Amino acid sequence: MNRLLSLTFTLLSLLYAGCSSKEVLEAPKTAQTSASIAGANTVGTSRPTNYEVALVVDLNSMNDSAVSAAWMGYLTARDMWINENITDASPSDFRSYTPPPREELAGRKTLAQLWKSIRASNNATDDYLDSLILISDAGYIEPYVWQYHYQSTWGPRPSDLPWTRFSQWMNQRLPEFSPETRGSIQLMPPGATAQAVKDFQPTSIQAAN
Distance between CA 91 and CA 22 in Å, rounded?
27
Distance between CA 180 and CA 93 in Å, rounded?
22
Residue 95 CB-density burial (10 A; 0-12 exposed, 13-18 middle, 19+ buried): exposed
pLDDT digits (tens, 9 = 90+) for 92-139: 888 788 999 999 999 999 999 999 999 998 888 999 999 999 999 999
Give the per-residue pLDDT at 123.
85
Give the per-residue pLDDT at 195.
46
pLDDT digits (tens, 9 = 90+) for 134-181: 999 999 999 999 999 999 999 999 999 999 999 999 999 999 999 999
Domain boundaries, the chain: 2-198
Q: Which residue has the higher pLDDT, 133 or 1?
A: 133
CB of 27 within 8 A of CB of 54?
Answer: yes
Distance between CA 129 and CA 28 in Å, rounded?
30
Distance between CA 136 and CA 3 in Å, rounded?
20
